Amino acid sequence: STSPVKVAVTGAAGQIGYSLLFRLASGSLLGPDTPIQLRLLEITPALKALEGVVMELDDCAFPTLDSVEIGDDPNHIFDGANLALLVGARPRTKGMERGDLLEANGAIFTAQGKALNEVAADDIRIGVTGNPANTNALIAMKNAPNIPAERFTALTRLDHNRAISQLAAKTGAKVADISKMTIWGNHSATQYPDIFHAEIAGRNAAEVVDDQAWIENDFIPTVAKRGAAIIEARGASSAASAASATIDAARDWLRGSAENDWVSMAVASDGSYGVPEGLISSFPVTTKNGDWEIVQGLEIDEFSRARIDASVAELAEERDAVTQLGLI
């Protein structure tokens, strides 16, 4: 077995945490031979509930779980972390304006960015799941000047997985036969799930589907609004699937994406595909050993261009709003 990896998780007593921690501890991230040390951050009032979750982790007797530490101080919990999964965020409550939401989350992600900058391990990788994920990642990144910008990513893997699942259902293909799915832009209702470069058993997915009306009126809105549909059905937001996607994203980032395929991940733009430099926007990326690279050279037609631009415009607005609030 190899030396232990320190994985920090924020919002650990929340819904996603309740699924995520057990998957991490059981070896879903790094396999059975890499011991995991969990470092769990919560706000003070949630620490008691988190103690209960830790009792359950103990009761699973996971051989891969080396240790668990909990606390409410990011400077302590992030100490020496190799991977930080930033799940905890302030949910939008009734009467809360968008500006209030950005401000409340801004406070969380400035503090956590600063703490990561101070105490995380040199090889730290940071994945942001908590919403608004792209802009929270941007805030953390800007508050951690000593951590390379490419170490910050935001989660659009759930959208990516949802898009694969919808395409499989439509065509009768197996999910394993679908490759090169892309989510562009923001993890929000403006996101653009793109099947024009996707493949089904090597054939172009849009050609297999051969139904532009389905793409526009069914596929895109179903993927973009899947979160709301789950709240409607379950009475609670997606948690197990969000945890699963958080693991998929981190695993592929650290261990590499599959040959002849790519994944969707929101990363700091280098200007590729006309996305303004520095915005944390979702792209098709290949990953290897903790590094990512934006897939280059995809042809973007007018239909796709308009949708990418709309989502990127929303990201620019969010960035302007947090700039005005003095958060970045």
Using CB under 6 A as the binding rule, whether residue 88 contacts ligand NAI is answered as: yes
Using CB under 6 A as the binding rule, whether residue 77 contacts ligand NAI is answered as: no
Using CB under 6 A as the binding rule, whether residue 13 contacts ligand NAI is answered as: yes
Is the distance from CB of 7 to CB of 39 less than 8 angstroms?
Answer: yes
Using the structure block, give the residue that is written with the tokens 């261009």.
Answer: 305
Using CB under 6 A as the binding rule, whether residue 104 contacts ligand NAI is answered as: no
Using the structure block, give the residue that is written with the tokens 């490759």.
Answer: 179
**Residue number closest to ligand NAI, CB atom:** 14
| CA angle at 80 for the pair 78 and 85, rounded to the nearest 5° | 45
Distance (Å) of CA 51 to CA 21, 40, 43, 68, 237: 13, 10, 12, 10, 23
Is the distance from CB of 192 to CB of 304 less than 8 angstroms?
Answer: yes
Within 10 angstroms of residue 184's Cβ, the number of other Cβ atoms is 27
Options 24, 108, 295, 312; binder of ligand NAI; rule CB under 6 A:
108
Options 28, 64, 238, 264; binder of ligand NAI; rule CB under 6 A:
238
Size of the site for ligand NAI (CB under 6 A): 28
User: Least distance in Å: CB of 87 to ligand NAI?
Assistant: 5
Using CB under 6 A as the binding rule, whether residue 143 contacts ligand NAI is answered as: no
**Torsion, Cα of 176, 180, 184, 187 (10° steps):** 20
* 153 assigned to a ligand binding site: no
42-71 footprint of ligand NAI as x/- string (CB under 6 A): xx--x-------------------------
* 255 assigned to a ligand binding site: no
Counting every residue written for the chain, the total comes to 328
Using the structure block, give the residue that is written with the tokens 């005005």.
Answer: 324
Residue 76 annotated in active site = no
Annotated binding-site positions for NAD(+): 11-17, 105, 112, 129-131
The set of catalytic residues is 187
